[in-house]
Amino acid sequence: MIGPGVKTAALFAVIIALFVAIGGIVGEFLFGSWLAGLLVAFGLSLVLNLVAYFGSDRLVLWSTHARIVRPEEAPRLARLVDELAPKFGLVAPRLALVPSPTPNAFATGRNERHAVVAATQGILNLLDDRQLRGVLAHELAHVRDRDVLLMTFAATLAGAISYAAQIVFFSTLTGGFGRRSNVNPIVLVVALVTAPIAALLLRLAISRSRELKADEVGATTIQDPEALASALERIDPANVRRPMQLGSPSQASLFIVNPFRGGGFASLFSTHPPTAERIRKLRALGIDHRYRVDVRSPSAGSPAASRS
C-alpha cells in the first residue's frame, strides 16, 4: 500500500512536471524561450503566495473571528495541548477559540514559532477528552510536518500554471507581443484549457494526502487511532447539518473536516478525503485497548473516556 507521504511526493512530482510543460509552452509562445515563461509565471505566483504565507495565520484568525486565549481561559484545551506537544517534539503553540457552534478545529502558522491551534466552541462542547485529544494530535501533526509551507508551495505552482495560461490568453488579444510562434495552436488551446484545471486538482489531491498523513501521524504518535476515528464520526455529520458561517471556503484545507462542503460533483474539488475513508484507515491502524469510550452514549460529549 502506498503511504500518504509517498503519494504527496508523487503528486508534487506531477504538478512540477505540469508546471515545466506549461511554462515551456508559454515561454516559447511569448518569448521564444521556455525558461522565460517559467520564470515569469513562477515569479508572479511566488510573490502573491509569499504574501499569503506570511500573513496566513492573521488572515484566518481574523476571518473566523478566532481569539487568541491564555491557558487559564481555555484550561481543558491548554491541558491537552501541553500534554501532546512534547510528543511531537514541539513547544506548545498559541491557542485560539472560534465563536462557532459548528464543531471543528484547525492549525495555522508558517512554522512552530508562529503556530496557532484553534478550536470552535462547538467542538469543545461535542467531544470528550479522548476524542478531543485525537483531533489536537492531528493538528499538531500538521504543525510538525510544516503542512502550511507544503500547501503554499503547491498553491504557488498551481497559481503559476494558471497565471501562465492567463498571460497567453491576454497576449493573444494584443497579437502575442508581436511575435510569430512555432507552437501548434491546437496544443496551445488544449494547454490553456486543461493545465489550470489539472493543477487545481493536483493541489487538492495534495491537500487530501496531507490530511491522511496528519491522521496517521497524529494517531500513531498518541497510540490511539480510535480517538480521532470516533471524533470524526461525530464531527462530520454535525458540519453537514450546520456548515460554518465564519471564514472562507478558500481556507477549508486548514480545518479537521471541510466546514464549507458541497456534495456530488463538488466532491471532486474537495480539500479533504471522504470521512468514511479516513475512519477506515484509522481503524486499520489498530485500537489502543487501554482506553474505553462509548461514542453512542448520550453523554459522550462529556469527558467519558477512561483507562480500563
CA distance 191 to 165: 8
Chain center to CA of 19: 21
> If we measure between CA atoms, which residue out of 271, 265, 223, 216 comes closest to residue 106?
271
CA distance 252 to 297: 30
Locate cell 521564444: which residue?
Answer: 32
* 293 Rama class: left (phi>0) / alpha (psi -120 to 50) / beta: beta
Supply 142's cell numbers. Answer: 500538521
* Residues ≥6 apart with Cβ < 8 Å to 37: 23, 24, 25, 26, 27, 28, 29, 30, 31, 164
SS3 category, 95:
strand
Chain center to CA of 290: 31
Q: Are 282 and 229 in contact (CB under 8 A)?
A: yes
Q: Name the DSSP letter for residue 249.
A: G
Of 28, 139, 216, 226, the catalytic one is: 139
Supply 259's cell numbers. Answer: 466546514
Q: What is the torsional sign of CA 237, 92, 143, 130?
A: negative
Question: Is residue 139 flagged as an active site residue?
Answer: yes
Catalytic residue ranges:
139
